Chains A and B, each alone.
Chain A
Amino acid sequence: MTLADIADILGLVFIFLGIATIIISAIGLFKLPDLYLRASAVGTSAGLGVASIVLGALLMDFSGLNLVKAIIAIIAQLLTSAVGSMAIARAGYLNNALPAPITHIDELALTRREVSGGR
């Protein structure tokens, strides 16, 4: 086995790990009860899922230029997914998407005005 073969196999493993992470987080979207928990579940696919697919592709086709591209892609993906989930969570809270009853502490509720009926 040459080094290229090993890198190929490792790359496939990483790509399949990424796919599995994305599928599981999609299951989480259906299963979890509220917006915030779902945003947390999607975080696994947007972070680890995409990062490990990019890493796998890099291993299968390695070159210096691809390494730079992969690093930029992963950093940009992580930053934008974090900012995106924060924006979604905040928008949801401001639009009265209350956390599910299973949420046992809610200190942000102290900053809310009384909600008068469905707005």
Chain B
Amino acid sequence: MAVSYKPVLWNRQKKKYDQILWMGIALILGCFAIFEFLLHPTITIETLIIRATAFTAIILLHIILMIGPLCRLDKRFLPLLYNRRHLGVSMFLIALVHAAFCIIQFHALGDTNPIASVFLSNPNYQEISQYPFQTLGFFALIILMLMAVSSHDFWLNNLSPKMWKQLHMSVYIAYALLILHIALGTLQYEKDLFYTILLWSGFLTISGLHLVAGWKTRSQLRAEQNALKQEGYFEVALLEEISEKRAKAVFVDGQNIAIFKYDGKVSAVSNICKHQMGPLGEGKIVDGCITCPWHGYQYYPGNGQSPPPFKEKLATYRVKIIKDKIWINPSPFPEGTAVEPAIINHG
């Protein structure tokens, strides 16, 4: 039986993280509101809320986008990654307040449906200086909403890790939309250069950090691949090529090898069944055993041994996974030797 889901798995670190997060949010909101009120004493409370929430949400989004590359560059930033989901959901809630006040203030007083009014009230879609920038913010908010509502582990398990990851990578589309939302919106009316400098320096910081982290990851990957080549490994397949509980057969360095993917692991054994030389790679894993498609002879994927009382044994091979690629060392171990399977890391 699996462990039951909880709304939030609180622990001391998470509580501390959230306390600091909400203190930070209150500080940004408060400081911005004070400065805005001092600069524009006639500002209405609605406008103040719209501006303060917009500023806070975009600052939080920048912090969120910086955490990933910072952690790849320096492991000391890892505590920031630990509860990033709460940071993301908090950012979405603040952006939602911003959107709600915008829609109430600018679109709720006419006869048109307020949401339709976001798209229809300004039809200048062909002009850059008067572009209906609110539509860009609307689409960004939809993406952030889909990410926020799918942030619980339940969704990671039920949407599948691949789909969940793809969905959450769309934060970059939301970020691009928001940069345009601000550049074509507030910056067109704002005379103060402060916001322009802040936005573009934020964009350059995010882009720069991603480029540097990407370069570092690539260098590490190359170093790992070169090390594997020197140890006699060959790159033989992509993880996605092999279906769950199925295999891919490869010929490497004169060896006929079947690579099986099962239960988040990958193992490699000889592709030839000991019974009548059936192609094991065309079989599948049944009840935890590789099962020959010809006559159903079975072997454990981790050690190539038939389940007792049977005595058949297959040669086994070392497997490694680097990024999404499977590497095999074609030097066979003696038949029946246990080899640690390579673990599939969905991150």
- Do the two chains bind? no
Q: Which residues of A contact B (CB under 8 A)?
A: none
